[in-house]
Amino acid sequence: MPIDETTPPAPVSPYGWSKLMTEVMLRDTAAAHGLRYAVLRYFNVAGADPQGRTGQSTKDATHLIKIASQAAHGLRAGMSVFGTDYPTPDGTCLRDYIHVSDLIEAHVLALAHLMGGGESLTANCGYGEGYSVLEVIDAVKRVSGADFPVEITGRRAGDPASLVADSSRIRDLLGWTPQYQDLDAIVGHALAWEAALQKRNSRP
């Protein structure tokens, strides 16, 4: 840790394998037909539009910040933490959370790179800083001012202990400069969107 683009891929879940297979297909198609492409390896995308125009609206979402935000707004009775025996400082999984607006900017820069004749690239999209599940839950409680029950339960299959990005390549090659590299800002935007979504869904 952190993981750079030269780290040999070793997926531990079907989701991870599907991502790797897509990269292989792009690589092979490029070799056969001269395609140029950009692979952006997302870490944990979170937050919402800072202006409140849009955000994650999936009804049965499984993303940590989304679930915790729903619990803070009383839309869930509580939430679960899956495993506290990982080799991390507090025993819960460590992840690199990237604000969706910074990820959008990464896409814009990658497209401009390709349209300007740039070579194919593979680049990590993350901040290089990890937060544990318990740290994220604490941030949601702190920012929202709400408390909610948290149940500790066993590990889920396919959850790596730590995933933190080395994003030097995209910063150096494309000039990507994150604007929302702050957990409280990410959580605050997610909470604001959840409140707006709740209000929108309650209209007749």
Position 13 scores a pLDDT of 84
User: Considering the domain 14-201 in this protein, what is its CATH number?
Assistant: 3.90.25.10
Contact 35, 180 (CB under 8 A): no
Taking Cα atoms as reference points, which of 40, 22, 13 lies closest to residue 174? 40
3-state secondary structure of 187: helix
CB-facing half-sphere around the CA of 175: CA atoms within 13 A: 5
| pLDDT above 90: residue 120 | yes
The model's pTM = 0.92
**Tens-digit pLDDT profile for residues 45-63:** 999 999 999 999 887 888 9
Active site residue 86: no
| Both structure tokens of 27 | 């690589």
Sign, Cα dihedral of 111, 116, 118, 120: positive
Average pLDDT over all residues of the chain? 94
Question: What percent of the chain has a predicted confidence (pLDDT) above 70?
Answer: 100
